[in-house]
Amino acid sequence: MKGLAKDLERLLPKERVHTDPEDLITYGNDATYHVCPLGHPDAVVTPETSEQVSRVVRYANEKEIPLVPRGGGTGLSGGCTPTAGGIVIDVKRMRNLVELNRGNLTAEVESGMVTATFQRIVEKEHLFYPPDPQSMKVSTIGGNVSTRAGGPRAVKYGTTGNYVLGLEVVLPDGEVIRTGSKCSKSSVGYDLTHLYTGSEGTLGVITKAILRLVPLPPARRTVLVTCESIEQSGNIVSAVIGSGLVPAMIELISGGAAAAMTSMLPEPYPPGESHLLIEMDGTETEIETLTGKLKDLCTERGALNIRIVEDPKAARAYWEAREKLYGMILMMAKKGIVEDITVPRDRIPDFVRAVKDIGVRLQMNPATGMMVGLGGHAGDGNMHPTIFFLQEANQEREEKAKAAIEEIVKTGLAMGGTISGEHGIGIHKAEFLPLELGRIQIEVMKRIKHAIDPKNIMNPGKIWVNGGTL
């Protein structure tokens, strides 16, 4: 784009504008590198204030240049991939804590604040920010809000969307608005805060967020339940939820995952096809009671082994290894496609069986070089069905993967599920959007998009297959 760099350097300090080919390659993708098409921006800017963001947005709007907001670059749906070129707005330099309000249990942060850094800050004050996308050591609050990111703790605490009270947003015309408030409730007009939450950069650039906090649980305990089959794990999860027990996290570890994590663990997972990694939090007494009931329930249902991990350092190791699972995918397979379908928790056993059946029906097994795996946030019904290419990807395998994903999506939806629990739609899931939302709902969304961003400069090509145009 001719003159772009010069123009941007007039708007921002020179060192905040990056247009070398090496920068443009770097900012061309996120964690979907091997799955989604690569983008190629024309420029990357790294602003330090909302005002600087506003200047860039105003300019881009005038020139009708696509804008792609970007946080940690860890997205799993290609949401920050600049597929239409344009300017990437990297907000990571905007990473300050604006306010930590102990008396109100809220905090305001700039959107480039790294999630885990924020968690460390509030935990020093004995407060807790539970949303825990597994990339939290890198992901930003801005990215989390934009995708309604979540992780294992969703079982008890929900995902990012449940913690957003207000936002500062640079609108597509460069105006800056503050939505919501730091009050624990508010009923004033349309809830723009939650319109922007999950909007994946298509409606503006989120520059600040007001977040709700909860008291830090005084204690936590990890329990490892080993099952003879993934079906048994599914049954146990469903029974735990149905019985009214609320652990903080229930993760399903199956297939090769347990073995792949061994080198990071103080003690390997016990032998067994499938495992549930569970954490309970609360007071010591609450945890004691919960652990007792959980043990009884798992024993009744024939769990092979129940290991209570007493040493906090050892417990940490299990969870840290779990965080790294996505990053290990190419050690386990030549290629992996991670889906984000989530089902109601009472349907977990049905879904587990259905996914297994699909794998059998489509002959996905070591002989054909493919496998369907389940693993992830079982406790909230978000089990990340994953297609593993055990042998090199080729057209036949790609087609088979596509067929499997489509069947899994349809099966999940038929059970009352949703195509994305926490990753967002981006480009990766856009083709399935009509299956869940239907034509009219998509139409409504597009009208909103058009009203706010008539020139369609904000992250075009995301959420909808053909972009957000009417």
Q: Can you give the binding site for another protein, defined by CB under 8 A? A: 18, 20-23, 25-27, 29-34, 46, 72-74, 90, 92-93, 95, 114, 116, 135, 137-138, 324-331, 336
The two three-digit tokens of residue 40, written as one number: 């190629």
Q: Which is nearer to another protein, 94 or 372 (CB)?
A: 94
Q: How far is the CB of 72 from another protein (least distance, A)?
A: 6
| Distances, alpha carbon 230 to alpha carbons 76, 227, 353, 415, in Å | 25, 7, 9, 19
Q: Name the one residue in this structure whose structure tokens are 């597509």.
A: 172
* Beta carbons within 10 angstroms of residue 402's beta carbon: 13
- Integer Cα distance of 67 and 435 in angstroms: 28
Q: Which is nearer to another protein, 23 or 286 (CB)?
A: 23
Q: Which is nearer to another protein, 67 or 114 (CB)?
A: 114
- Integer Cα distance of 437 and 317 in angstroms: 40
Q: How far is the CB of 305 from another protein (least distance, A)?
A: 26
- 333 φ, ψ to 5°? -155, 165
Q: How far is the CB of 27 from another protein (least distance, A)?
A: 6
Q: How far is the CB of 202 from another protein (least distance, A)?
A: 22
Sign of dihedral through CA atoms 434, 198, 460, 451? Answer: positive
Q: Which is nearer to another protein, 73 or 204 (CB)?
A: 73
- Integer Cα distance of 209 and 162 in angstroms: 13
Q: How far is the CB of 103 from another protein (least distance, A)?
A: 26
- Integer Cα distance of 438 and 433 in angstroms: 8
Q: Which is nearer to another protein, 327 or 434 (CB)?
A: 327
- Integer Cα distance of 152 and 159 in angstroms: 9
Q: How far is the CB of 196 from another protein (least distance, A)?
A: 24
Q: Which is nearer to another protein, 32 or 222 (CB)?
A: 32
- CA nearest neighbour of 224 among 152, 329, 149, 305: 305
Q: Which is nearer to another protein, 347 or 397 (CB)?
A: 397
Q: Which is nearer to another protein, 133 or 349 (CB)?
A: 133
Collapsed DSSP state (helix, strand, coil) of residue 280:
strand
- Integer Cα distance of 419 and 201 in angstroms: 19
Q: Which is nearer to another protein, 335 or 449 (CB)?
A: 335
Q: Which is nearer to another protein, 74 or 199 (CB)?
A: 74
- Integer Cα distance of 129 and 124 in angstroms: 12
- Integer Cα distance of 221 and 342 in angstroms: 26
- 89 φ, ψ to 5°? -105, 100
Helix (H) or strand (E) holding 398: helix 395-414
Q: How far is the CB of 92 from another protein (least distance, A)?
A: 5
Collapsed DSSP state (helix, strand, coil) of residue 145:
helix
Q: How far is the CB of 122 from another protein (least distance, A)?
A: 15
291 contacts 221 by C-beta, under 8 angstroms? yes
- Integer Cα distance of 427 and 81 in angstroms: 8
- Integer Cα distance of 179 and 290 in angstroms: 39
41 contacts 86 by C-beta, under 8 angstroms? yes
Collapsed DSSP state (helix, strand, coil) of residue 452:
helix
- Integer Cα distance of 105 and 193 in angstroms: 18
Q: How far is the CB of 83 from another protein (least distance, A)?
A: 16
Q: How far is the CB of 322 from another protein (least distance, A)?
A: 11
Q: How far is the CB of 166 from another protein (least distance, A)?
A: 25
Q: Which is nearer to another protein, 11 or 116 (CB)?
A: 116
